[in-house]
Amino acid sequence: MKDELLKLLDKAYAPYSKFQVAAIIEMKDGKFIPGVNVENASYGATICAERNAITTAVTMGYKAGDFKRLYVMVSGDKLSTPCFMCRQVITEFFDKDCEIIEMGKDGTMEKHLVADLCPYPFDKSDL
Ligand SMILES: [Zn+2]
């Protein structure tokens, strides 16, 4: 997965922060869905790689429960977990026992469960 993430990292559109992010979702049916961060001159219009991949999966017809694992690589030297806006969207589609894997360009990696990164989610049960 490291090579796929490295290749995807180059596709990130990050002219302002220079912080490139690549995300790949492994679906339960075995498909892999990519996403990169896409920045905008109006910074608030920027979308993260994780949400880009998730919305692509939804566009392709996937539903909550179809998501298995999320891989994330950033251009920085340290591993990064998804931002909290992405964590909110992750909790909408990923089960609590799904893995989120942060992978470095050198192949180092950390693994977290959705339940660990999103311990008190705001979800449909709150509405
Ligand atoms: Zn994010």
Q: What's the CA-to-centroid distance between 99 and ligand 1, angstroms?
A: 16
Question: Which residue, 22, 54, 25, is CA-closest to 38?
Answer: 22
Q: Using one digit for the tens of pLDDT, what is the confidence trace for 30-46?
A: 999 999 999 999 999 99
Is 39 designated active site? no
Cα 21 to ligand 1 centre (Å): 9
Q: Rounded to 5 degrees, what are φ and ψ at 49?
A: -60, -40
| Residue range 52-74, pLDDT digits in tens | 999 999 999 999 999 999 999 99
Q: What is the pTM (predicted TM-score) of this model? A: 0.95
* pLDDT tier at 48, thresholds 50, 70, 90: very high
Catalytic, out of 50, 92, 99, 110: 50
DSSP letter assigned to residue 21: E
Between the CA of 88 and the centroid of ligand 1 the distance, in Å, is 9
